[in-house]
Amino acid sequence: MNYQEFKERLIADVETQIKEQKLDVKLIQQEVRKNNDVLLDGLMLKGDSDIAPTIYLNDLYKKGYQEGKPMEGLVSEVLECMQDSVIQQMSGVAQQLHWDTLKNKVIFQVIGAEGNPDAYKRIPARKEQDMLLTYRILLDASKDVMASFQVDQTMHERLGVSEEELYQAAIRNMPELVPPMLQNMETMLDEILSDTPSQVISLDDSLQKLEKGGMMYVLTNPQKMYGAANVFYPDVMDKIAQAFDNDMIVLPSSIHEVILLPYDKSMQIQELKNMVEEINANQVAPQDRLTNQVYIYDKEEKQLMIADKWQEQKLEKGRKPRQSMKDALKVTAGTPNKKSLDATMENQNPKRKMQKQAKRMKR
């Protein structure tokens, strides 16, 4: 079946099961706008709650049906989703949608500003460089899963707090709820190829154990979801830069992780940008792309910057401005008067100097 045929068949089968099992839920289809304005086909099973889980038919088709899963099994997955404990939590949150209940569950994720030009109309957000910090309510963050939903403008208004309060809550919550995790690239690839779960250790322990050479490192979180936000956690990039005693290149692999490597003057920023653009175009799902930029965390300035701007700033600081004649003539007491200025100009003019010497000889 092609995608359209699959979608129609799945929806029909789910509706049949809802009737046969006499489930008190309503099946709702709608397009869901994701990161980079990507539209996905969402399927929601809505009961009494204002909040309902969304199952993406696009993912079921690509990662389920096309990989050989039978239609009956996919229908069962959709229905079983309603029995999940996370869904019960969502119902509880919907019934108690106020700040005191949710302030300890707020986290943020990072998305690209260029790919989301209308984000401010839909969601509260904060701009950092060419990226946006947006907010989510975390329901579950076990080792293998992260269940959360986005704070949109409607929920933001109902909570009755400012964007600054959302930000400060996320800054407090994230180091504990979804702590940063740093691995070298080789270790992470070995775990993926061998299907071995990551060993979760603190950032401080990681920095003590990691071999700090010229290799690449992956910064994410234990769930490997929305882990690119780590670069904006307080002190995270500073700890890493201090441990390596170096400025750090930051490559935005996706919204879920970034790749770090110690900066070296021989590195060509444009080549790194070309690499990021190629990977984004060919290997990263559109809804997971962050940006095509390359960033540098400056160890001394304690600041993350777009690499091109960082290099321009460094070049500007390294240039010695050409001294003007006026500045050259300044004295401690201030700018010289006209008489002293004329005398200085005369002394610095070889022709005038020779004329003056000839007059003296005639005398």
Burial 65-90 (b: 16+ CB within 10 A, else e): beeeeeeeebbeebbebbeeeebebb
Q: Domain total for the chain?
A: 4
Same domain, 270 and 197: yes
In a domain, 89, yes or no: no
Q: Between vectors from CA 171 to CA 166 and to CA 176, what angle results, nearest 5°?
A: 120
Query: What tens digit of pLDDT does each residue of 76-119 get?
Result: 988 887 666 455 555 555 556 789 989 999 999 999 999 999 99
Report d(CA 1, CA 5) in Å as an integer.
Answer: 6
Report d(CA 287, CA 150) in Å as an integer.
Answer: 15
Tell me what pLDDT residue 324 has.
45
Q: What is the mean pLDDT of residues 144-165?
A: 89
Residue 37 lies in domain: 1-84
Same domain, 245 and 137: no
Same domain, 139 and 246: no
Q: What is the mean pLDDT of residues 63-68?
A: 91
pLDDT band for 133, please (50, 70, 90 cuts). Answer: very high
In a domain, 90, yes or no: no
Same domain, 232 and 267: yes
Tell me what pLDDT residue 92 has.
55
Same domain, 333 and 348: yes
Same domain, 56 and 150: no
| Single residue among 153, 177, 201 that ends a domain in this structure | 177
Residue 41 vs residues 14, 198, 251: alpha-carbon distances, Å: 15, 32, 30
In a domain, 91, yes or no: no
Tell me what pLDDT residue 167 has.
97
pLDDT band for 357, please (50, 70, 90 cuts). Answer: very low
Same domain, 108 and 126: yes
Tell me what pLDDT residue 6 has.
94
Whole-structure pTM value: 0.78
Coil, helix or strand at residue 138: strand
Closest CA to 170 of 200, 135, 142: 135
Report d(CA 62, CA 7) in Å as an integer.
Answer: 12
Tell me what pLDDT residue 300 has.
94
Q: What is the mean pLDDT of residues 249-274?
A: 94
Same domain, 161 and 132: yes
Laid out side by side, the sheet with 39-46 consists of 26-33, 39-46, 54-56
Token pair in block for residue 275: 């690499």
Same domain, 79 and 120: no
